[in-house]
Amino acid sequence: MPGEQLTSVWQAIYNQDGPDSVTINKEILKWFLSKASSRYESIQFSERKFFKTFSEATIKFSDFKEFVKKNIREPGVAFSKTCSDLEEMSWSILKSGMKSKLETGDVYKLWCITNRLMDEDTYPPVIFREDASWLLDKILSNLGHNLKSSDDVFSKDKFTFQEMLFIIEDFALSNTSQQQINTCIDGLYMWLVVEVMRKGKVYKRTKKQANWTNWVKRWCVLTPQCLRYYSSDNDSNQKGEFTFIKHTKIESLEMYSGFMKNLKGRFRLANVPMLEMEIAVDDETVKRAWLSDLEEIVQCVRDKTTPVQKLLKERHLKNVEKRNKKNGTTNQVEDIDSALTKTKLRADAQTKKHVFNTSIEIVEPEKETQQKSPSLEKESTEKIKAMFMKIDTNGNGQLDKNEFADFLQGLGLNMSEKESNLVFNSVDTNKSEQICFEEFQIYFCNHVMNETETAECVNVMRKAFLEADRDGSGTLNFREFTEYVWEKNRNANMSKILKSFSNVSTDEISFEDFEKLVAGSGAEVFAPILEEEIEQGTDSSLDDFQGRLQKVYDDTEANELTTYIRQRWNKFASFRRAGKTGSVVMSGGHGMVADIVPGQYSLIDLACFSDLPPLEPKHKVVKNTQWLSSTISGKSGKIIFPPEFDKQIPTEQATSELLRYYGCSFADSQQEQISLLFRHGIQDFTYENGYLEKYVTATNGGAGIEKHDFSHLDCPLSKDSGFFILAKYVENGDFHITAFQLPVRHTLYCPGGVIHCNDYLKGTWRTMLSDETDIDHVHLTHILEEGHEEKFRFEFA
């Protein structure tokens, strides 16, 4: 449940509003957000948007959370970062009024923990008895007590944080040493708030461009957001991190056998083409534990949640169900969420069963025909581009050697011409004697933003190459190569030196050849040399290049690019054309949408529509539906529509943008890779005239909709192909539904779990399906005014 930290804001508002308040004070909330905006860069506040969003006297927590997500976040800032800053702001207001015998740091951590358990629909937010008991039991367990909480501990059904704090102090933490308290609370905090899933020493190496770094030992900390690695276990010197995205690939590898190391428990993480990393742990058992956690993390990233949030969501649904049964009430929205959650859990279980049966079987990324720019947040890309524009003094979108040398000098680096040319050639990967923006961006992301260790290795290789290049030609002949190796490593086998050189060239080798040689056939010869160089450190100005480049990036503002573009394209932005009468008949927009520098692009990269809101298809919004799945395999359940539903749903011509609203898309050459959890078959099906009346209605019990864990491909081969229906439940429980017409030979990809219907299809369709999972099919049922039910079919508006 991303955003559960925001219950802290409700607590802070209640603290300012007074204990007599039963609804949110809108003015105090406005004051709070305005103050937070002035304190934190991740938060931007607009009174106009605030009052436009909240026109009513009362504010629902779910609406507030959506407001934070859409209107408060600074562009490019993660939602979780904004939530954390608002939580910190709330604590600054609340901490002075907290009454406790514990240290302030421990009270803060307990408060953060309970924020994850607070009920979002209460004001002030409270923690219900079931969650309070669960938390108290966890504290007792962490302290090593065999005690369990009981009904005697809790005098009522719900508690504010202050009340819960008194209970924890009296029942669990009395007569406990400070060290035990610190260890207990810190352990829970790291699990439930920081969400540390695993720690430990590993061997790792990283691939960027064509080169692998040497294996190094690192202390790693695994969280749902990223894998951070440090020089040692004191977490003070972070060397880099690997960020998880929905496209992250995981692969199990065989044992690594090298000249210097034999490493078991090896696996690979990849965000192609941005970053690839190999990790080796102690043995296969530890490796399986890592892979299990990593697979869960990537799945949760795709679901926009985390393992802890998923756990708490499931607990919340169960507790609500228990309370509703106890009170004799039902909650349709929670029943729907519960059904969807169960479906998702079944899919997760099948995923793990499929993936970890004997070995990891993750879809391999396709080999790239050309190197692509890494995927970055918009703000980061704009800052890098603004840097590039500063260096490109003649404004032609390319950097030549003179511009690059002037830039290096402006950084305060007194590089020789030989050193400057070597760095230039490292960036100019296509050897065109010009650096385009894409090359500059790839270099910056690969060697500056993501991992300092790689920069260190590249600098050492550059220093070695320059030292070996004694005539300053920019290449190494055989004599220079062998003399350098012999001077640095007297134990090197001369036959291996000869073989290393001949594997790359019979004449002379460039720095690019040298990098390949060090990472490949020459690793045995060069590993001892470069490791010694790394240990000793270097005093070349090459060492400072990455660091100073990073400083330029940090000092660059994203809005500098906007200023540059406005000046560069001023004549287009101010463009006007007048008709015969003098009135303006054509004009430029309010500003340039994008500035495209020379380079190779995919067409989707040139379609600059990211500033526009996402498209939504025409859809029917139906409130208070109830999905009742059948408990008997092979039988249909029913979905009950309210009396006011007129049975009509709108139609749309399908496009990828409109299909995306329901989590679907058209399959094309740009389609991302997908994982199929089950065996599927593809077959042509022909829907004859009368299929709906003669089979669906008369034989199959009536029209319906369905969902299942396997995926669909559906491609109409006939022009008059009928309607393919897609639907979904949104966060507030409303049911959205649209009937789509698909163009001939356009293939719809419908992933597992999507609600759909093919009762209204016509002609021949090529379809992919599976028989390995149950189908949750429900008949369309309509409540009549007098309280009776009838089955019905959709009509199309």
- For the segment 206-215, the average pLDDT, to the nearest whole number, is 73
Q: How many CB atoms lie within 10 A of CB 133?
A: 18
**Confidence at residue 607, expressed as pLDDT on a 0 to 100 scale:** 67
∠ CA(303), CA(306), CA(308), 5° rounding?
140
Q: Give the H or E element holding residue 562.
A: helix 559-568
Q: Report yes or no: 208 and 200 within 8 Å, Cβ to Cβ.
A: no
User: Confidence band (pLDDT; 50, 70, 90) for 362?
Assistant: very low
Q: Name the range with the highest mean pLDDT among 58-72, 442-456, 607-621, 706-720.
A: 706-720
Place of tokens 């749902």: 224
Lowest mean pLDDT among 352-361, 409-418, 535-544, 725-734: 352-361
The residues, ordered by sequence, that sit 6+ positions from 371 with a Cβ below 8 Å of its Cβ are: 209, 273, 429, 442
Give the sign of the dihedral formed by CA 66, CA 70, CA 74, CA 77. Answer: positive
Q: Report yes or no: 478 and 486 within 8 Å, Cβ to Cβ.
A: no
Q: SS3 for 400? A: coil
Report the distance separating Cα 462 and Cα 416, nearest Å: 13
Q: Which CATH architecture has domain 382-555?
A: Orthogonal Bundle (1.10)
Q: Is 664 exposed, middle or buried (0-12, 13-18, 19+ CB in 10 A)?
A: buried
Report the distance separating Cα 701 and Cα 119, nearest Å: 42
Q: How many CB atoms lie within 10 A of CB 627?
A: 20
Q: Report yes or no: 722 and 762 within 8 Å, Cβ to Cβ.
A: yes
**Confidence at residue 473, expressed as pLDDT on a 0 to 100 scale:** 77
Q: Is 612 exposed, middle or buried (0-12, 13-18, 19+ CB in 10 A)?
A: exposed
Q: How many CB atoms lie within 10 A of CB 448?
A: 20
**Confidence at residue 356, expressed as pLDDT on a 0 to 100 scale:** 33
Structure-block tokens of residue 192: 């439930």
Share of the chain above pLDDT 90, in %: 17
**Confidence at residue 357, expressed as pLDDT on a 0 to 100 scale:** 32
**Confidence at residue 513, expressed as pLDDT on a 0 to 100 scale:** 76
Report the distance separating Cα 152 and Cα 17, nearest Å: 32
Q: Report yes or no: 212 and 203 within 8 Å, Cβ to Cβ.
A: no
Residue 51 has pLDDT above 50, yes or no: yes
Q: Name the range with the highest mean pLDDT among 269-283, 447-461, 584-598, 602-616.
A: 269-283
Q: At what angle do helices 523-536 and 452-468 cross, to 10 degrees?
A: 110
**Confidence at residue 676, expressed as pLDDT on a 0 to 100 scale:** 75
Residue 484 has pLDDT above 60, yes or no: yes
Identify the CA nearest to 61 among candidates 122, 12, 14, 108.
122
640-696 pLDDT, tens digit per residue, is 999 999 999 999 999 988 998 998 888 865 555 677 777 889 999 999 999 999 999
Contacts for 165-170 with beta carbons within 8 Å, 24 or more apart?
Answer: 165/98, 165/99, 165/100, 165/102, 165/107, 165/110, 167/132, 167/136, 168/110, 168/135, 168/136, 168/139, 169/100, 169/101, 169/102
Report the distance separating Cα 171 and Cα 137, nearest Å: 11
Calculate the average pLDDT of the chain. 78
Residue 795 has pLDDT above 90, yes or no: yes
pTM greater than 0.75 (yes/no): no
Residue 1 has pLDDT above 70, yes or no: no
Alpha-helical (H) ranges within 116-246 are: 129-142, 161-168, 178-192
Give the type of residue at 118: M
Q: Report yes or no: 432 and 554 within 8 Å, Cβ to Cβ.
A: no
- For the segment 161-166, the average pLDDT, to the nearest whole number, is 89
Report the distance separating Cα 522 and Cα 513, nearest Å: 11
Q: Which CATH class is domain 620-796?
A: mainly beta
**Confidence at residue 345, expressed as pLDDT on a 0 to 100 scale:** 45
- For the segment 239-259, the average pLDDT, to the nearest whole number, is 82
Give the type of residue at 622: V
Residue 452 has pLDDT above 60, yes or no: no
- 737 vs 169, higher pLDDT: 737
- 785 vs 142, higher pLDDT: 142
Report the distance separating Cα 429 and Cα 443, nearest Å: 9
User: Confidence band (pLDDT; 50, 70, 90) for 490?
Assistant: low
- For the segment 185-205, the average pLDDT, to the nearest whole number, is 88
**Confidence at residue 358, expressed as pLDDT on a 0 to 100 scale:** 30
Q: How distant is the alpha carbon of residue 532 from its chain centre?
A: 38
Report the distance separating Cα 316 and Cα 131, nearest Å: 8
Report the distance separating Cα 49 and Cα 428, nearest Å: 46
3-state SS of 244-307? CCCCCEEEECCCEECCCCEECCEEEEEECCCEEEEEECCCHHHHHHHHHHHHHHHHHHHCCCCH
Q: SS3 for 455? A: helix
- CB burial string 277-313: b at 16+ within 10 A, e below: bbbbbeeeebbbebbeebbbbbbbbeeebbebbbebe
198-319 CATH pick, 3.60.60.10, 2.30.29.30, 3.60.10.10, 1.10.3720.10: 2.30.29.30
Report the distance separating Cα 514 and Cα 464, nearest Å: 10
52-110 pLDDT, tens digit per residue, is 888 887 888 888 888 888 888 776 577 778 888 898 999 999 988 889 989 999 999 99
Residue 368 has pLDDT above 50, yes or no: no
571-620 pLDDT, tens digit per residue, is 776 777 888 888 888 887 666 677 777 766 666 666 666 667 778 999 99
Contacts for 51-54 with beta carbons within 8 Å, 24 or more apart?
Answer: 54/26
Residue 348 has pLDDT above 80, yes or no: no
Place of tokens 């260190």: 456
Q: SS3 for 219? A: strand
Structure-block tokens of residue 650: 């709108």
- For the segment 265-272, the average pLDDT, to the nearest whole number, is 86
- 165 vs 374, higher pLDDT: 165
**Confidence at residue 525, expressed as pLDDT on a 0 to 100 scale:** 66
Which DSSP category does 207 fall into?
Answer: E
Give the type of residue at 765: W
Q: SS3 for 473? A: coil
Domain locations in the chain?
4-192, 198-319, 382-555, 620-796
316-346 pLDDT, tens digit per residue, is 777 777 777 666 655 444 443 444 444 444 4
**Confidence at residue 149, expressed as pLDDT on a 0 to 100 scale:** 63
- Tell how strand 584-587 and strand 576-578 pair up: antiparallel
